[in-house]
Amino acid sequence: MSEKTYSNIINNVLKPSSSGQYFQKFNPAKPSESLGKFPQSNAQDLEQALEAAKQAFEIWKNTPAPKRAEVLYKAAEITSGQKEELAQILTKETGKPIVEARGEIQEVIDTYLFFAGEGRRIYGLTGQSELHNKSITTIRQPIGVCGFITAWNFPAAVPSWKIAPALITGNTFILKPSSEAPLSAYLLVQNLCGAGLPNGCANLLFGNGELGTLIANEPEIKVVSLTGSTEVGRKVYTACAGQLKKCALELGGKNAIIALDDANEELLLEGVLWGAFGTAGQRCTSTSRLILQKSAWSKQFLAKLSHAANKLKVGDGADEKNQIGPVISAKQRENIHGFVQRAVLAGGELLCGGKFLDGEGYFYAPTIISQIKPEMELACQEVFGPVLAVIEVDNFETALKVANNTDYGLSLAIYTQNINLALKASNQLESGLVYINAPTIGAECGGASAFGGWKHTGNGSREGGVLALDTYTQYKTIYIDYSEKLQRAQID
């Protein structure tokens, strides 16, 4: 069977890149299996997509929000009908277990439905003037063309978190997915176009980091939203700041679970296993530190945890029995192994894992390393793999200090049956997300949720809930004077 070659999507038309160059995407569980060839886009492709998005914006911004919502409702319906097919493709693309892939596609559906509902709730403000016969109204309006640069670990959900609030508020977009996960984004945009989105509202360009740089530096792109590394985030932020345009950043994390000596052991065991090793540790919210209060049970708990981690089934995510899939690439696996080796050399005790696993794919054993000190590399730097650093502390106050002792501030959790300590921790932990008696993963896409971090994890933007509308709208205040006579302010 010949290898499929994909095209960019510009103005709802499939277009090959002007560069004539392509890259291949392979299944990380079966690196010999190619998922297709994708175009390496350049500045000329971006210019074409930008022109289409700008023209479409003039139509889409004047479309009533409830009408825009109909497109998102239809896209949710189409996605729901393709759920299993899309999940299978996502598993081949990222390696994640099929159960997780199904959950991610459901996240896309839920995100579309939530923001479609916001189409009738794009509220502003109405207030009293300081003058007679005058009213003040503040409304939200769209900004223009948005540029989305997304990561590979959630190649369907993360783009949907950007796309849905941007579209419902009247913006158009250009999406550049990671070259490690291009296919899910392609299907996402195809379904939006199939749902009746006007031509040019959704544009997809494949490419590498050079294309991302072009998007960040393009003055006609009025909003840039990036999910990626802190290093890349700094570059995007600098480019956007120079143009005084909006920039939303969702970056790295070094998340921790604090486990006090009164924690429910069963809940804690499940939470640490899922938080540290779900998605092979390749989440920005993955639990990469366990801050464990020393007690009579802590040593026994670590033994149980290591035993349970050793029993996790690692293999091709397409096989229903496997709980952990491969990491995304050979390079990433080598990077993960380097962290482990350096931690052991620095004095860490390897409790389990720490090795490549047999098989064709990029499999790495779930790894737990104890005797980690707060200042060590493994306690401070993001690994993005199935590696858990165990840091033992004497008391609650020290646990809080250690949890906050990183440049990141995305997700922190505490396990305790003491409600006073739980609430104190929720107030003092320096992170955008705090969980009580639950792991550091599991953010929702609507309601009162707001996904985003503090410190070097981002720049204050939020995704996944109603606050995401702030990124894609600008405020306009309208003054209405309904007096029949000229009003003058009297100053005493």
Residues 274 and 328: beta-carbon distance below 8 Å: no
What is the residue-level pLDDT of the chain in tens, covering all 492 positions?
A: 468 999 999 999 999 999 999 999 999 999 999 999 999 999 999 999 999 999 999 999 999 999 999 999 999 999 999 999 999 999 999 999 999 999 999 999 999 999 999 999 999 999 889 998 999 999 999 999 999 999 999 999 999 999 999 999 999 999 999 999 999 999 999 999 999 999 999 999 999 999 999 999 999 999 999 999 999 999 999 999 999 999 999 999 999 999 999 999 999 999 999 999 999 999 999 999 999 999 999 999 999 999 999 999 999 999 999 999 999 999 999 999 999 999 999 999 999 999 999 989 999 999 999 999 999 999 999 999 999 999 999 999 999 999 999 999 999 999 999 999 999 999 999 999 999 999 999 888 877 889 999 999 999 999 999 999 999 999 999 999 988 766 555 544
Whether the CA torsion 319, 323, 328, 331 is positive or negative: it is negative
User: Of 271, 254, 255, whose CA–CA distance to 263 is shortest?
Assistant: 271
What is the predicted pLDDT for the residue at 1?
A: 46
CATH 3.30.460.20 fits 255-436, yes or no: no
Tell me the C-alpha distance between 190 and 204, whole Å.
9
Query: How long is the chain?
Result: 492
Residues in a beta bridge with 126 = 137
Residue for token pair 């069977």: 1
Model pLDDT, residue 92: 98
pLDDT (0 to 100) of residue 3: 84
* DSSP at 143: -
Pairwise CA distance, residues 63 & 478, whole Å: 21
Q: What is the pLDDT of residue 445?
A: 82
In the chain, ranges of CATH 3.40.605.10 domains: 8-251+458-477
The DSSP output letter for 297 is: T
Least Cα distance to 291 among 251, 253, 263, 252 occurs for 263
- Count of CB atoms within 10 A of residue 87's CB? 24
The one-letter code for the residue type at 467 is L
Residue type, 59: I
DSSP state of 450: -
Give the predicted TM-score (pTM) of the model. 0.96
- Identify the CATH homologous superfamily for domain 8-251+458-477: Aldehyde Dehydrogenase; Chain A, domain 1 (3.40.605.10)
The tokens describing 314, both together, are 């690692």
Q: Which residues in the chain are classed under CATH 3.40.309.10?
A: 255-436
Strands (E), 340-489: 349-352, 367-370, 387-393, 408-409, 411-415, 433-436, 454-455, 473-481
Please tell me the distance from the alpha carbon of residue 21 to that of residue 419, in angstroms, as a whole number: 58
Neighbours of 409 (CB within 10 A): 23
The side-by-side arrangement of strands in the sheet containing 367-370 is: 349-352, 367-370, 387-393, 287-293, 255-259, 411-415, 433-436
250 is catalytic: yes
- Does the annotation count 193 as an active-site position? no
The active-site residue, picked from 250, 382, 392, 463, is: 250
Catalytic-labelled residue, pool 201, 284, 352, 445: 284
The pLDDT assigned to 488 comes to 55
User: What's the pLDDT at 387?
Assistant: 98
* Contact call for residues 292 and 392 (beta carbons, < 8 A): yes
DSSP secondary structure string for all residues of 72-128: HHHHHHHHHHTHHHHHHHHHHHH---HHHHHHHHHHHHHHHHHHHHGGG----EEEE
Positive or negative: CA dihedral 8, 9, 10, 16: positive
